[in-house]
Amino acid sequence: MITETLTWLTDPINVTGPTGWLQLIGQHLMYTIITLAIAAAIALPIGLYVGHTGRLRSAAVLATGLTRALPTLGLLTLFALLAGIGLVAPVIALVVLAVPSILAGAYSGLESVPRSTIDGARAQGMTEMQILTQVEVPLGIELIIGGLRSAFMQVLATAMLAAYVGNGGLGKLIFLGMKTEDYPVMLAGSLLVIVLAILCDVILALVQRAARPKGIARTA
């Protein structure tokens, strides 16, 4: 089984061909990044607002909790029926999934900054914008990036299901294999996704660590 999978994976046609897995990985990453950019554009400003002012906090917590209880496959199929086959449906569904993590990361990042530090900065005469950009964001950056990281991972995972509602990406291999009862191809697709996911997670973990400001005690 494994040898069949490896043979399939290393066949040049399956690697660099027009529907080869390199192409599919590129497509998959592109979907993920586009979705994440849209989600971040929505969630970061709201999260920073909630974290800085403390306003609407319970609404944000509730929204985050509720969205997390929603099954991803359900959202994906729902939007696919609503918007039809195409890129729009999965992107909307994926954005809905990505927003809560980014939002939670942003406001909890700002909330993790000690009140006395912010108080001190304000008493020195920093404007609210300066407090946000020079104090709260740098000090909360690890959790903010943490939110982006878990959103990225979730979108990467769910983008695979997007192939189920008729789009490309690495999920294509899995569903192709499923339709043709070709376990080695399913396995090939799965292994590629797993390797991609772990690689992305490790890279993002390193980015997260590198962003930690100097002078902050290393806890973890």
Within 13 Å and on the Cβ side, how many CA atoms surround 31?
30
Least Cβ distance, residue 115 to other proteins (angstroms): 9
183 binds other proteins, rule: CB under 8 A: yes
Least Cβ distance, residue 150 to other proteins (angstroms): 9
205 binds other proteins, rule: CB under 8 A: yes
Q: Which of 30, 56, 59, 198 binds other proteins (CB under 8 A)?
A: 198
89 binds other proteins, rule: CB under 8 A: no
- Opening angle at CA 152, ends 150 and 153, nearest 5: 65
In angstroms and rounded to an integer, the radius of gyration of the C-alpha atoms of the chain is: 21
Nearest one of 52, 41, 43 to 101, comparing CA atoms:
43
Residue 10 belongs to what H/E stretch?
Answer: helix 2-10
Nearest one of 155, 168, 164 to 196, comparing CA atoms:
155
58 binds other proteins, rule: CB under 8 A: no
219 binds other proteins, rule: CB under 8 A: no
Q: What is the dihedral of CA 76, 82, 85, 91, to 10 degrees?
A: -50
74 binds other proteins, rule: CB under 8 A: yes
Q: Which of 25, 42, 122, 176 binds other proteins (CB under 8 A)?
A: 122
Q: Write out the two tokens for 201.
A: 């997670």
Give the span between the Cα atoms of 173 and 179, in whole angstroms: 10
Beta carbon nearer to other proteins, 74 or 86:
74
157 binds other proteins, rule: CB under 8 A: yes
Residues that bind other proteins (CB under 8 A): 1-2, 66, 68-78, 80-81, 114, 116-117, 119-127, 130, 134-135, 138-139, 153, 156-158, 160-161, 164-165, 171, 174, 178, 183, 186-187, 189-191, 193-194, 197-198, 200-201, 205, 213-217
